[in-house]
Amino acid sequence: MEKNLNDSRFKIANREALIGIGLVIINFAIWFGFAYGLGSGDPTEYDYVMGFPAWFFYSCIAGTIFMIILIWVTIRVFFKEVSFDDEEEQK
C-alpha cells in the first residue's frame, strides 16, 4: 500500500522535474536567440524598443516576463499537489 503511494508520488515528481528541464531549454533558447540573433550587428545600427536595444529588450526584458508567465501557467496546469508525509496525513 505504502509502496503504491510512493510510486505514484514519484511519478509526479519525475514528470515535474522533466518539465523543469523543458522550461530551462525554452528559457535558454529565448535568451540566446534574441541576444545573439539581433545583437550581433554593428551597435550603432541597432533598432530600439522602449529605449533599449532590441536584442536586449527581447532577450532580457520580454523574455524574462514571458518565462515568468509561462512558469505560472505550467504550474497551474501541470503541477499536482501531493502529500509529503507517510503517516502524518491526518495532521
Contact 10, 84 (CB under 8 A): no
Q: Based on the shown chain and the rule CB under 8 A, indicate whether residue 60 belongs to the binding site for another protein.
A: yes
> Which of 1, 4, 77, 83 is close enough to bind another protein by CB under 8 A?
83
Helical spans, DSSP H, in the chain: 2-39, 54-56, 63-78
Give 39: exposed, middle or buried? Use CB within 10 Å, 0-12, 13-18, 19+: middle
**Binding characters for another protein, 18-57, by CB under 8 A (x = yes):** -xxx-xx--xx--xx--xx--xx-xxx-x-x-xxxx-xx-
Contact 45, 54 (CB under 8 A): no
52, three cell numbers: 533599449
Q: Based on the shown chain and the rule CB under 8 A, indicate whether residue 75 belongs to the binding site for another protein.
A: yes
Binding residues vs another protein (CB under 8 A):
6, 9-10, 12-14, 16-17, 19-21, 23-24, 27-28, 31-32, 35-36, 39-40, 42-44, 46, 48, 50-53, 55-56, 59-61, 63-64, 67-68, 71-72, 75, 79-86
